[in-house]
Structure 1
Amino acid sequence: MSSILYFNGFLKSLKEIDINPAEPGFLYGAGLFETIRVEEGIPLFLEEHLKRLTAGAQYLGWQVPDLSTLGQAIKTTISANKVILGRARLNLLLGSSGYHLLVTAQASLPYTPEDYARGYTACISKIRKNHRSPLSAFKTMNYLEYLLAWNEARSRGAQEAILLNLDGFLAEGSRSNLFVVRKGTLFTPNLESGPLPGLVRSRVLKLAARLGLKVKEKPLSPTDLLAGEEAFLTNSLMEIMPLTYVDGQPIGKAKPGPLTTRLRLEYQAEKAATLRSNSV
């Protein structure tokens, strides 16, 4: 947690944050959030994060500040905490009248070079994703099903949990989107299968198309994943993480594959260009 937080227009310490425990955001998890990677003190792909959050707010019928106000709140918090490499989180909580805007920033990322070199391990969770819920497209504060799945993964010695949807098809990770490579084609669960429309997921799909790779968004079974020659996970903090074992079974050669590695390098190049354009 950052030492200085942005709360409803002001920078405050944690002990100065005052939220009424009788408000919907506290009682029912009525809120939205975005987690943003920070590099060189710059919040990456900020506009895309803010557009997703405001789309969720509009669906819920909430009035929120404009993108400029939200963006400035994030930049102010990053600067106040002197975060060069790390993450920021924007939280929008429903209050008794209106909303609360809370932003945190910290100089830490939960992934190591060794993780990318070895690849992640995952398990197929017993927790199912309700892909028919209208909220499946938004990052809501009510995150219990993902927390349960992630705790299950940790108890089984895995680093991530893969959730199936109610029809038994792959949906997503507890905190990531999922991709599978087979016979030179990149597969990922279609949005109708229930994954969050992740920002890195979207960028990988566009990047793959620019590289001339075959891409298919479709319902995928656990068997499709285990039969993959490569697999990887994506989110805004991990970016592209190789996935090498699922339920103790190796994916392909149980090491980061050539297409995963290529996409990681291309993604890093694209990100570097974004950082250069933002620093001008």
Structure 2
Amino acid sequence: MHRSSYESPLFLTLDGRDLKAGAPALPAGMPGVLRGEGVFEAFLVRRGLPTPYLSEHEARLARSAALIDMDIGTNLMEGLTPFVNRLPKEEDWRVRLTLFRREDDGVSRMWSASIAPPPPLQVVLAISEVRRDPRDLLAGAKTISRVGLGLERRRALAAGAFEALIPTLDGDLAEGTSSNFFVVKNGVVRTPSLDRGILSGVTRSVVLGICKKSGIPAVEARVELEDLENAEEIWITSSILGVQPVVRIVGMP
């Protein structure tokens, strides 16, 4: 069985205060705690340098906050530089910024860092039992309310897979629990379009940009389950793991 990709954070700050991992930090009555009202972004810091796509993460954070009517101000990456400077440069880090809605409708800002997970030895996919409504306006928001996604990821791990692909109510495929995906068929790169209820992945956008620049045919459209069966290649993409090839799908030859 694969283990989870994410380890407990080793470094934490909340509203500029250093915290010890595991120490009480958030008030129990905070809406961000009680109802999961919050948004987040996660990215790599390699040898002390944050991802070159930081502005894309910042823009997505703003879009996510707008979708849940959360006023997070304009200096979204406040505190990043001093936080990154604390991290040992001999390691690569998964850094996460989480913004929680407070009782006064303000925002609490938490930076956390854990050692970046190594790439999986191989990626096996499972097909999720839940269904995504592509008309759900919050599907494109990266919120901290992720119990359903976490459940499907645990089910995938229990089935011997690394990740689960989530179908929509219409039967086509949307995305993974923490990744986007691509299929290559007849020389054309294909990935679900944003109107299928998916998160606009930063690495997804980078891959599409590389395809366009390199003259590789690529389309954003519906991807059906049958498209996986005869695909020449399948990849998953995420900001933490980059681009990873898929070797097998549970239940498919």
Give the TM-score of the pair, scaled to structure 2: 0.90
Higher relative contact order (CA 8 A, sep 6+): 2
Q: Which residue of 2 aligns with 1:75?
A: 81
Code of the aligned partner of 1:153: A
Deviations 1:238-264 (A, max 9, x none): 1100011112435xxxxxxxxxxxxxx
**C-alpha distance in 2 between matches for 1:110 and 1:101:** 27
User: CA offset at residue 234 of structure 1?
Assistant: 0.2
User: CA offset at residue 120 of structure 1?
Assistant: 0.7
User: CA offset at residue 18 of structure 1?
Assistant: 2.8
Q: Which residue of 2 aligns with 1:156?
A: 159
User: CA offset at residue 74 of structure 1?
Assistant: 2.4
**Contact 2:96/2:111 (8 A) holds in 1:** yes
The unaligned stretches of length 5 or more in structure 1 are 251-280
Residue 196 (str. 1) matches residue 199 (str. 2): yes
1:42 corresponds to which of 15, 28, 49: 49
The within-5 A match list for 1:123-162 is 123-162=126-165
| Larger relative helix fraction | 1
Deviations 1:10-54 (A, max 9, x none): 333236553111111111111101111111211101111111111
Code of the aligned partner of 2:61: L
Residue 182 (str. 1) matches residue 182 (str. 2): no
**C-alpha distance in 1 between matches for 2:113 and 2:124:** 28
The within-5 A match list for 1:99-248 is 99-112=107-120, 115=121, 119-248=122-251
**Contact 1:127/1:148 (8 A) holds in 2:** no
User: CA offset at residue 7 of structure 1?
Assistant: 0.8
Q: SS of 1:19's equivalent?
A: coil
Q: SS of 2:77's equivalent?
A: helix
**CA RMSD of the aligned region, Å?**
1.7
Deviations 1:122-167 (A, max 9, x none): 0111111222111111111110121111111112111110100111
Q: Which runs of 4+ in 1 moved over 3 A?
A: 1-4, 14-17
**C-alpha distance in 1 between matches for 2:69 and 2:77:** 21
2:74 corresponds to which of 61, 66, 71: 66
The unaligned stretches of length 5 or more in structure 2 are 1-7
Task: Report the identity percentage.
Answer: 30
Residue 2 (str. 1) matches residue 9 (str. 2): yes
Give the total of aligned pairs.
243
Deviations 1:211-252 (A, max 9, x none): 1011111111111112201110000011100011112435xx
